Protein backbone atom coordinates (compact mmCIF):
# COMPACT_ATOMS: atom_id res chain seq x y z
CA UNK A 1 0.00 0.00 0.00
CA UNK A 2 1.33 3.48 -0.81
CA UNK A 3 0.60 6.97 0.43
CA UNK A 4 1.32 8.87 -2.78
CA UNK A 5 -2.31 9.87 -3.28
CA UNK A 6 -2.64 11.25 0.24
CA UNK A 7 0.57 13.23 -0.19
CA UNK A 8 -0.69 14.71 -3.44
CA UNK A 9 -3.97 15.57 -1.72
CA UNK A 10 -2.03 17.36 1.01
CA UNK A 11 0.09 19.34 -1.45
CA UNK A 12 -2.99 20.49 -3.34
CA UNK A 13 -4.60 21.75 -0.14
CA UNK A 14 -1.49 23.29 1.46
CA UNK A 15 -2.41 26.81 0.37
CA UNK A 16 -5.73 26.55 2.20
CA UNK A 17 -4.03 25.27 5.34
CA UNK A 18 -1.53 28.13 5.38
CA UNK A 19 -4.35 30.60 4.91
CA UNK A 20 -6.13 29.04 7.88
CA UNK A 21 -3.01 29.39 9.97
CA UNK A 22 -2.81 33.07 9.18
CA UNK A 23 -6.35 33.49 10.50
CA UNK A 24 -5.56 31.49 13.63
CA UNK A 25 -2.42 33.44 14.30
CA UNK A 26 -3.95 36.83 13.57
CA UNK A 27 -1.10 37.60 11.19
CA UNK A 28 -0.53 37.78 7.47
CA UNK A 29 1.89 34.89 6.94
CA UNK A 30 3.13 31.58 8.31
CA UNK A 31 6.56 33.09 8.99
CA UNK A 32 4.99 35.80 11.13
CA UNK A 33 3.10 33.19 13.15
CA UNK A 34 6.28 31.38 14.07
CA UNK A 35 8.10 34.68 14.63
CA UNK A 36 5.46 35.61 17.21
CA UNK A 37 5.80 32.31 19.09
CA UNK A 38 7.67 32.28 22.38
CA UNK A 39 11.33 31.67 21.60
CA UNK A 40 13.36 28.97 23.29
CA UNK A 41 16.33 29.80 25.52
CA UNK A 42 19.37 27.70 26.31
CA UNK A 43 17.33 25.63 28.74
CA UNK A 44 13.70 26.06 27.72
CA UNK A 45 11.60 25.04 24.77
CA UNK A 46 9.29 27.26 22.82
CA UNK A 47 6.01 27.47 24.73
CA UNK A 48 2.83 26.40 22.99
CA UNK A 49 -0.73 25.82 24.16
CA UNK A 50 -3.11 22.93 24.60
CA UNK A 51 -6.34 24.79 25.07
CA UNK A 52 -5.50 27.32 27.79
CA UNK A 53 -2.63 25.16 29.11
CA UNK A 54 0.91 26.38 28.38
CA UNK A 55 3.49 23.65 27.84
CA UNK A 56 6.84 23.02 26.18
CA UNK A 57 6.50 22.46 22.42
CA UNK A 58 8.07 19.03 22.96
CA UNK A 59 6.68 16.78 25.66
CA UNK A 60 7.78 13.33 26.77
CA UNK A 61 5.78 10.26 25.80
CA UNK A 62 5.70 7.77 28.68
CA UNK A 63 4.42 4.70 26.83
CA UNK A 64 7.52 2.67 27.73
CA UNK A 65 7.47 3.37 31.47
CA UNK A 66 7.16 -0.22 32.63
CA UNK A 67 9.46 -3.13 33.59
CA UNK A 68 9.12 -4.30 29.98
CA UNK A 69 8.09 -1.45 27.72
CA UNK A 70 6.01 -1.19 24.58
CA UNK A 71 9.11 -1.56 22.44
CA UNK A 72 10.56 -4.43 24.41
CA UNK A 73 13.06 -2.48 26.52
CA UNK A 74 13.65 -3.46 30.15
CA UNK A 75 13.41 -0.62 32.65
CA UNK A 76 14.06 0.04 36.31
CA UNK A 77 11.81 2.48 38.13
CA UNK A 78 14.82 4.37 39.49
CA UNK A 79 16.11 4.95 35.95
CA UNK A 80 12.73 6.20 34.74
CA UNK A 81 12.51 8.62 37.66
CA UNK A 82 15.96 9.97 36.77
CA UNK A 83 14.87 10.28 33.13
CA UNK A 84 11.74 12.27 33.98
CA UNK A 85 13.67 14.62 36.22
CA UNK A 86 16.30 15.05 33.53
CA UNK A 87 13.52 15.93 31.09
CA UNK A 88 12.27 18.61 33.46
CA UNK A 89 15.79 20.00 33.83
CA UNK A 90 15.97 20.11 30.01
CA UNK A 91 12.85 22.28 29.87
CA UNK A 92 10.16 19.68 29.18
CA UNK A 93 6.93 20.54 31.02
CA UNK A 94 4.48 18.08 29.42
CA UNK A 95 4.33 14.35 30.18
CA UNK A 96 1.96 12.04 28.32
CA UNK A 97 0.87 8.77 29.94
CA UNK A 98 -2.17 6.45 30.09
CA UNK A 99 -3.63 3.89 32.45
CA UNK A 100 -2.92 1.17 29.89
CA UNK A 101 0.80 1.99 29.61
CA UNK A 102 2.49 -0.76 31.57
CA UNK A 103 -0.97 -1.66 32.92
CA UNK A 104 -0.94 1.40 35.26
CA UNK A 105 2.82 1.28 35.92
CA UNK A 106 3.55 4.32 33.75
CA UNK A 107 1.19 6.49 35.78
CA UNK A 108 2.62 5.20 39.05
CA UNK A 109 6.23 5.82 38.10
CA UNK A 110 5.45 9.20 36.55
CA UNK A 111 3.52 10.32 39.62
CA UNK A 112 6.49 9.54 41.83
CA UNK A 113 8.99 11.10 39.43
CA UNK A 114 7.29 14.49 39.15
CA UNK A 115 6.43 14.80 42.84
CA UNK A 116 9.16 17.42 43.58
CA UNK A 117 7.91 19.74 40.81
CA UNK A 118 4.39 18.59 39.98
CA UNK A 119 3.02 22.15 40.16
CA UNK A 120 5.45 23.19 37.42
CA UNK A 121 4.51 20.53 34.85
CA UNK A 122 1.40 19.25 33.11
CA UNK A 123 0.30 15.64 32.74
CA UNK A 124 -1.88 14.03 30.09
CA UNK A 125 -3.44 10.65 30.71
CA UNK A 126 -6.04 8.49 29.01
CA UNK A 127 -8.96 6.14 29.61
CA UNK A 128 -10.82 3.79 27.31
CA UNK A 129 -9.62 0.21 27.79
CA UNK A 130 -10.53 -2.43 30.37
CA UNK A 131 -7.27 -2.15 32.26
CA UNK A 132 -8.68 -2.78 35.74
CA UNK A 133 -10.43 -5.87 34.39
CA UNK A 134 -7.11 -7.14 32.96
CA UNK A 135 -8.54 -7.04 29.44
CA UNK A 136 -6.40 -4.30 27.85
CA UNK A 137 -7.54 -5.11 24.34
CA UNK A 138 -11.20 -4.39 25.10
CA UNK A 139 -12.56 -0.88 24.57
CA UNK A 140 -14.84 0.50 27.28
CA UNK A 141 -15.96 4.12 27.57
CA UNK A 142 -19.16 3.59 29.49
CA UNK A 143 -19.78 6.44 31.96
CA UNK A 144 -19.22 4.33 35.07
CA UNK A 145 -16.01 2.93 33.61
CA UNK A 146 -14.69 6.41 32.78
CA UNK A 147 -15.28 7.60 36.34
CA UNK A 148 -13.56 4.53 37.75
CA UNK A 149 -10.59 5.00 35.43
CA UNK A 150 -10.20 8.65 36.37
CA UNK A 151 -10.23 7.84 40.09
CA UNK A 152 -7.49 5.30 39.51
CA UNK A 153 -5.39 7.75 37.51
CA UNK A 154 -5.73 10.46 40.15
CA UNK A 155 -4.50 8.07 42.81
CA UNK A 156 -1.56 6.78 40.78
CA UNK A 157 -0.48 10.24 39.65
CA UNK A 158 -0.74 11.51 43.25
CA UNK A 159 -2.89 14.49 42.32
CA UNK A 160 -6.40 15.86 42.77
CA UNK A 161 -6.85 16.79 39.12
CA UNK A 162 -5.87 15.67 35.62
CA UNK A 163 -4.51 18.48 33.46
CA UNK A 164 -5.52 16.85 30.18
CA UNK A 165 -7.68 13.72 29.84
CA UNK A 166 -7.97 11.83 26.56
CA UNK A 167 -10.31 9.10 25.44
CA UNK A 168 -7.63 6.67 24.27
CA UNK A 169 -9.69 5.21 21.46
CA UNK A 170 -13.24 5.90 20.32
CA UNK A 171 -15.59 3.25 21.68
CA UNK A 172 -18.18 2.58 19.00
CA UNK A 173 -20.41 0.89 21.56
CA UNK A 174 -20.76 4.10 23.57
CA UNK A 175 -22.05 7.24 21.82
CA UNK A 176 -19.42 9.97 21.90
CA UNK A 177 -22.07 12.34 23.23
CA UNK A 178 -22.33 10.19 26.40
CA UNK A 179 -18.56 10.21 26.76
CA UNK A 180 -18.43 13.99 26.40
CA UNK A 181 -21.23 14.41 28.91
CA UNK A 182 -19.57 12.35 31.65
CA UNK A 183 -16.21 14.04 31.09
CA UNK A 184 -17.98 17.38 31.30
CA UNK A 185 -19.31 16.37 34.71
CA UNK A 186 -15.77 15.50 35.81
CA UNK A 187 -14.61 18.91 34.62
CA UNK A 188 -17.33 20.56 36.69
CA UNK A 189 -16.15 18.58 39.71
CA UNK A 190 -12.61 19.83 39.14
CA UNK A 191 -11.15 16.34 38.72
CA UNK A 192 -10.41 17.00 35.03
CA UNK A 193 -9.33 20.38 33.67
CA UNK A 194 -9.34 19.72 29.91
CA UNK A 195 -10.12 16.85 27.61
CA UNK A 196 -9.73 15.49 24.12
CA UNK A 197 -9.78 12.42 21.88
CA UNK A 198 -7.15 10.15 20.36
CA UNK A 199 -7.25 8.90 16.77
CA UNK A 200 -10.73 10.36 16.22
CA UNK A 201 -12.40 11.27 12.95
CA UNK A 202 -13.54 14.80 12.10
CA UNK A 203 -17.17 13.76 12.53
CA UNK A 204 -16.57 12.36 16.02
CA UNK A 205 -14.57 15.43 16.99
CA UNK A 206 -17.45 17.70 16.02
CA UNK A 207 -20.01 15.67 17.96
CA UNK A 208 -17.89 15.59 21.11
CA UNK A 209 -16.90 19.25 20.88
CA UNK A 210 -20.55 20.30 20.67
CA UNK A 211 -21.24 18.71 24.08
CA UNK A 212 -18.02 19.64 25.92
CA UNK A 213 -15.37 21.78 24.19
CA UNK A 214 -12.26 19.78 23.27
CA UNK A 215 -8.80 21.22 23.90
CA UNK A 216 -6.75 18.81 21.77
CA UNK A 217 -6.67 15.75 19.58
CA UNK A 218 -3.83 13.26 19.94
CA UNK A 219 -2.93 11.12 16.93
CA UNK A 220 0.08 9.58 15.27
CA UNK A 221 1.80 12.15 13.08
CA UNK A 222 5.22 11.93 11.51
CA UNK A 223 6.98 12.49 8.21
CA UNK A 224 5.88 9.03 7.10
CA UNK A 225 2.29 9.35 8.38
CA UNK A 226 0.65 12.63 7.39
CA UNK A 227 -2.99 11.64 7.11
CA UNK A 228 -4.10 14.07 9.88
CA UNK A 229 -3.21 16.96 7.56
CA UNK A 230 -6.11 16.19 5.25
CA UNK A 231 -8.44 14.23 7.54
CA UNK A 232 -8.65 16.39 10.69
CA UNK A 233 -6.44 19.50 10.57
CA UNK A 234 -9.08 21.57 8.72
CA UNK A 235 -11.60 20.70 11.45
CA UNK A 236 -9.13 21.50 14.23
CA UNK A 237 -8.37 24.86 12.66
CA UNK A 238 -12.06 25.65 12.26
CA UNK A 239 -12.88 24.77 15.88
CA UNK A 240 -9.69 26.09 17.47
CA UNK A 241 -8.51 22.70 18.73
CA UNK A 242 -4.82 21.91 19.27
CA UNK A 243 -2.94 18.78 18.22
CA UNK A 244 -0.61 16.41 20.07
CA UNK A 245 1.58 14.31 17.77
CA UNK A 246 2.70 10.92 19.04
CA UNK A 247 5.39 8.77 17.40
CA UNK A 248 6.92 11.79 15.59
CA UNK A 249 10.13 9.78 15.04
CA UNK A 250 8.19 7.05 13.17
CA UNK A 251 8.73 4.63 16.09
CA UNK A 252 12.46 5.08 15.68
CA UNK A 253 12.68 4.26 11.98
CA UNK A 254 13.52 7.79 10.84
CA UNK A 255 16.38 8.09 13.32
CA UNK A 256 18.39 5.81 11.03
CA UNK A 257 19.16 3.12 13.61
CA UNK A 258 17.25 0.42 11.68
CA UNK A 259 17.57 -1.06 8.21
CA UNK A 260 16.29 -4.04 6.22
CA UNK A 261 18.49 -6.36 8.29
CA UNK A 262 17.00 -5.24 11.60
CA UNK A 263 14.96 -7.89 13.39
CA UNK A 264 12.11 -7.32 15.81
CA UNK A 265 10.54 -9.86 18.16
CA UNK A 266 7.72 -9.58 20.67
CA UNK A 267 7.27 -7.97 23.14
CA UNK A 268 8.63 -5.22 20.85
CA UNK A 269 5.41 -4.16 19.10
CA UNK A 270 7.28 -3.26 15.93
CA UNK A 271 7.48 -7.01 15.32
CA UNK A 272 3.86 -6.93 14.09
CA UNK A 273 3.81 -3.54 12.35
CA UNK A 274 3.87 -3.78 8.52
CA UNK A 275 6.29 -0.88 8.07
CA UNK A 276 8.94 -2.68 10.10
CA UNK A 277 9.04 -5.75 7.90
CA UNK A 278 12.39 -6.19 6.07
CA UNK A 279 10.64 -5.60 2.74
CA UNK A 280 9.06 -2.33 3.88
CA UNK A 281 12.21 -0.98 5.53
CA UNK A 282 14.21 -1.68 2.38
CA UNK A 283 11.54 -0.11 0.16
CA UNK A 284 11.24 2.97 2.39
CA UNK A 285 14.98 3.70 2.48
CA UNK A 286 14.61 6.72 0.15
CA UNK A 287 12.48 8.43 2.81
CA UNK A 288 15.16 7.85 5.40
CA UNK A 289 17.74 9.24 2.99
CA UNK A 290 15.58 12.34 2.50
CA UNK A 291 15.40 12.89 6.25
CA UNK A 292 19.15 12.44 6.61
CA UNK A 293 19.77 14.93 3.80
CA UNK A 294 17.58 17.57 5.42
CA UNK A 295 18.98 16.90 8.88
CA UNK A 296 22.45 17.60 7.55
CA UNK A 297 21.25 20.79 5.88
CA UNK A 298 19.69 22.02 9.15
CA UNK A 299 22.74 20.87 11.16
CA UNK A 300 20.71 18.55 13.38
CA UNK A 301 20.45 14.79 13.84
CA UNK A 302 17.73 12.84 11.98
CA UNK A 303 15.80 12.45 15.27
CA UNK A 304 15.99 16.17 15.89
CA UNK A 305 14.92 16.92 12.34
CA UNK A 306 11.76 14.86 12.81
CA UNK A 307 10.78 17.17 15.68
CA UNK A 308 11.83 20.30 13.79
CA UNK A 309 9.68 19.17 10.85
CA UNK A 310 6.61 18.43 12.98
CA UNK A 311 6.75 21.67 14.96
CA UNK A 312 7.25 23.68 11.77
CA UNK A 313 4.03 22.39 10.17
CA UNK A 314 1.51 24.18 12.40
CA UNK A 315 1.83 26.47 15.45
CA UNK A 316 -0.76 24.39 17.33
CA UNK A 317 1.23 21.13 17.23
CA UNK A 318 2.90 19.63 20.30
CA UNK A 319 5.25 16.69 19.71
CA UNK A 320 5.61 13.92 22.29
CA UNK A 321 8.47 11.58 21.36
CA UNK A 322 9.06 8.71 23.76
CA UNK A 323 12.30 7.35 25.14
CA UNK A 324 13.65 5.69 28.27
CA UNK A 325 17.31 6.52 27.63
CA UNK A 326 18.96 9.71 28.89
CA UNK A 327 21.28 10.10 25.85
CA UNK A 328 18.28 9.87 23.53
CA UNK A 329 16.38 12.37 25.67
CA UNK A 330 19.27 14.81 25.57
CA UNK A 331 19.42 14.45 21.80
CA UNK A 332 15.70 15.18 21.45
CA UNK A 333 16.18 18.33 23.52
CA UNK A 334 19.10 19.52 21.41
CA UNK A 335 17.36 21.46 18.63
CA UNK A 336 14.94 23.61 20.60
CA UNK A 337 15.05 26.80 18.54
CA UNK A 338 15.41 25.37 15.04
CA UNK A 339 12.47 25.51 12.62
CA UNK A 340 11.86 25.17 8.90
CA UNK A 341 10.82 28.22 6.90
CA UNK A 342 7.75 28.21 4.68
CA UNK A 343 10.03 27.96 1.66
CA UNK A 344 11.89 24.98 3.15
CA UNK A 345 8.62 23.21 3.91
CA UNK A 346 7.49 23.65 0.30
CA UNK A 347 10.82 22.34 -1.00
CA UNK A 348 10.72 19.35 1.34
CA UNK A 349 7.16 18.51 0.28
CA UNK A 350 8.13 18.56 -3.39
CA UNK A 351 10.86 15.99 -2.73
CA UNK A 352 8.65 13.99 -0.37
CA UNK A 353 5.86 13.71 -2.96
CA UNK A 354 8.16 11.66 -5.20
CA UNK A 355 8.54 8.88 -2.63
CA UNK A 356 6.23 5.88 -2.27
CA UNK A 357 5.90 4.48 1.24
CA UNK A 358 5.23 0.76 1.63
CA UNK A 359 3.25 -0.80 4.46
CA UNK A 360 0.54 0.43 6.77
CA UNK A 361 1.47 2.13 10.04
CA UNK A 362 -0.59 -0.31 12.17
CA UNK A 363 -1.46 -4.00 12.27
CA UNK A 364 -5.02 -5.20 11.79
CA UNK A 365 -5.85 -5.32 15.49
CA UNK A 366 -4.74 -1.73 16.05
CA UNK A 367 -6.33 -0.53 12.85
CA UNK A 368 -9.70 -1.91 13.96
CA UNK A 369 -9.63 0.38 17.01
CA UNK A 370 -9.02 3.59 15.04
CA UNK A 371 -11.98 5.86 14.33
CA UNK A 372 -12.32 6.71 10.64
pLDDT tens digits along 121-173: 999 999 999 999 999 999 999 999 999 999 999 999 999 999 999 999 999 99
The whole-number average pLDDT for the span 19-27 is 32
Residue 120: closest CA among 53, 52, 64? 53
What is the tally of helices (H) and strands (E) in the chain?
15, 12
181-235 pLDDT, tens digit per residue, is 999 999 999 999 999 999 999 999 999 999 999 999 999 999 999 999 999 999 9
For 186, phi and psi rounded to 5 degrees? -70, -35
Extract the runs of DSSP E, i.e. beta strands, from the chain: 47-50, 53-56, 60-61, 94-96, 122-127, 129-130, 135-139, 164-167, 195-198, 216-220, 242-246, 317-320
Q: Say which of 70, 71, 101, 246 is annotated catalytic.
A: 101
Average pLDDT over residues 328-337: 94
| Confidence category of residue 50, pLDDT binned at 50, 70, 90 | very high
Question: CA 189, 192, 195, 198: dihedral to nearest 10 degrees?
Answer: -130
Query: How far is 215 from 341, CA to CA, in rounded Å?
Result: 27
Q: How far is CA 167 from CA 194, 290, 292, 347, in A?
A: 12, 35, 35, 36
- Bridge partners (DSSP) listed for residue 216: 196, 242
d(CA 34, CA 17): 15
Given a contact cutoff of 8 angstroms between Cβ atoms, the answer to whether 71 and 25 are in contact is no
The answer to whether the CB of 212 falls within 8 A of the CB of 185 is no
**pTM recorded for the entire structure:** 0.88
* CB atoms inside a 10 Å sphere around CB 121: 21
| 5 pLDDT more than 90 | no
Say what the pLDDT of residue 43 is.
54
101 noted as active-site residue: yes
Average pLDDT rounded to a whole number, residues 322-336: 95
pLDDT above 80 for 11: no
pLDDT, position 262: 94
Question: What confidence tens digit (pLDDT) does each residue in 89-112 have?
Answer: 999 999 999 999 999 999 999 999
Higher per-residue confidence, 19 vs 4 = 4
Supply the mean pLDDT for the chain: 89
Residues 6+ apart with CB under 8 A from 1: 358, 359, 360
Average pLDDT, integer, range 319-339: 95
Amino acid sequence: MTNKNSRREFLKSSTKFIGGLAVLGGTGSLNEIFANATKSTATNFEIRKIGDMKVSAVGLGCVDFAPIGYYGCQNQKSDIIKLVRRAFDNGITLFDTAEIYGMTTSEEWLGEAIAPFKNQVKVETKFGFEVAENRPGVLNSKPTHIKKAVEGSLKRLKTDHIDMLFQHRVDKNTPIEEVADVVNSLIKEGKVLRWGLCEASANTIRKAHAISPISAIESEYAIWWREPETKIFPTLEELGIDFVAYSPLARGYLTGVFNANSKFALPDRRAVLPRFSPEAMKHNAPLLELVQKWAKAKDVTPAQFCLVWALSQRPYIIAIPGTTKVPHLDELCGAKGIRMSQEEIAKFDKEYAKIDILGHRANEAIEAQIDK
